[in-house]
Amino acid sequence: MRKTQKQQKSPADFAKIVADFYSKSQRFKEIEVSFKKIKSKFSGEISKYFDENPDLKSAIFTANNDSDVECTGYIVNKIQRANVKFDCDKLEKALGKKLSDVLIFKTYSIIDMPGLISYLKECNVDPQIFKSFLHVEKYVDKAELERLEGIGKLTQEDIQGCYTVELSEPYYKVSLQKAKDEWQEK
What average pLDDT does this structure show over 7-14?
89
Per-residue pLDDT band for 115 (boundaries 50, 70, 90) equals confident
Quote the longest CA-to-CA distance of the chain. 93
Find how far residue 31's CA is from the centre of its chain. 27
CB atoms within 10 A of CB 88: 20
More confident residue, 120 or 21: 21
Beta-bridge partner residues of 172? 78
What's the rounded Cα separation, in Å, for the pair 30 and 41? 17
Cβ 105 vs Cβ 145: under 8 Å: no
Helices 142-150 and 88-103, axial angle in degrees (round to 10) = 70
- Report the C-alpha gap between 134 and 131 in whole angstroms: 5
What is the reported pTM?
Answer: 0.56
Which DSSP string do the residues of 18-35 spell out, in sequence order? HHHHHHHHHHHHHHHHHH
Cα distances from 119 to residues 108, 111, 130, 174, in angstroms, run 18, 14, 8, 64
Query: 136 forms bridges with which residues in the sheet?
Result: 108
Domains of the chain by residue range: 12-80+170-177, 88-161
**pLDDT per residue over 139-159, tens digit each?**
899 999 999 999 999 998 999
Residue 127's SS3 state is: helix
3-class state of residue 94 by DSSP: helix
Question: What share of the chain in percent tops pLDDT 90?
Answer: 52
> Reduced to 3 states, what is the DSSP secondary structure of residue 153?
coil
Q: What is the pLDDT of residue 182?
A: 38
